[in-house]
Amino acid sequence: MNTGAIIAIYRFEMARWFRTIAQSILTPVLSTSLYFIVFGSAIGSRIEAIDGVPYGAFIVPGLTMLSVLTESVSNASFGIYMPRFSGTIYEVLSAPISSLDMVLGYVGAAATKSFILGLIIMTTARLFVPYSIEHPLWMIVFLLLTCVSFSLLGFSIGLWADGWEKMQIVPALIVTPLAFLGGSFYSIQMLPEPFRTLTLFNPVVYLMSGFRYSFYGQGDLGPTLSLALLAAFGGACLALVLWLLETGYRIRQ
């Protein structure tokens, strides 16, 4: 393992983020604030509490996950797509770096960014609605695992895409719909059949449910099942990424 290289890539990616730090932080703070003004205060005051949790508080974990999911995917995919696109990837490919080193550097940085983002959003939300976190450890574990596994997914998109359209297509057509329909704004118990059953095939549902459990001690499904599925999803993404790198798919001719 080339630790120096992992650190170099990680630093480089973080520096890229810090160069636009104001934008990186202000954008999510602003959009979260807007969500809470509209859904939390304006509309939320007319919606009854779900399982005893006021609607404003109910959407905190969902909104956090929604942003973390999309940011993980976009951060990690751009992190590797840009050097491929500009040609600077040659330097990484010609250095004594294993596939795993590359993943640790790039995905590590992307996951760190979205983890920080998640914390920022939860902090901002606290300004609008009072909430407490019942199981902080579960919360950290879920947040971290989500950051890592969706960054891995994003990384594989960035490795696979050979044009800007493809970079947009997976997030727009798959990730965003799944995230929105994953129960970020509602409990799946509120859905009529057959949608309630169909929803169970959406992996994001388990994630949202698990994350919400860590906040309020209750969720649509058990936290252990959520955790197991999330871990399996992360493992599958890691395998996909390593396979793409090892076969040199679209990066080594």
Which residues contact another protein (rule: CB under 8 A)?
A: 2-5, 7-9, 11-12, 15-16, 19, 86-88, 90-98, 248, 252-253
**Beta-carbon-side half-sphere exposure of residue 50 (alpha carbons within 13 Å):** 23
Q: How far apart are CA 70 and CA 180, in angstroms?
A: 11
CA atoms of 22 and 157, how far apart (whole Å): 27
135 or 166: CB nearest another protein: 166
CB of 4 to another protein, least distance (A): 4
Nearer to another protein, 2 or 218 (CB): 2
> In degrees, to the nearest 5, what angle opens at C-alpha 57 toward C-alphas 32 and 43?
70
Q: Which residue has the tokens 């006021």?
A: 54
Residue (161 or 207) nearer to another protein, CB = 161
Residues 91 and 10: their CA atoms lie apart, in Å, by 15
**In the chain, what is the straight-line distance between the N-terminal and C-terminal CA atoms, in Å?**
24
Q: How far is the CB of 87 from another protein (least distance, A)?
A: 3
User: In terms of CB distance, is 52 or 96 closer to another protein?
Assistant: 96
Least Å distance, CB 36 to another protein, is 34
Nearer to another protein, 11 or 126 (CB): 11
Q: How far is the CB of 252 from another protein (least distance, A)?
A: 5
**123-146 CB burial, b ≥16 within 10 A, e <16:** ebbeebbebebeeeebbebbbebb
| Shortest separation between residue 93's beta carbon and another protein, angstroms | 5
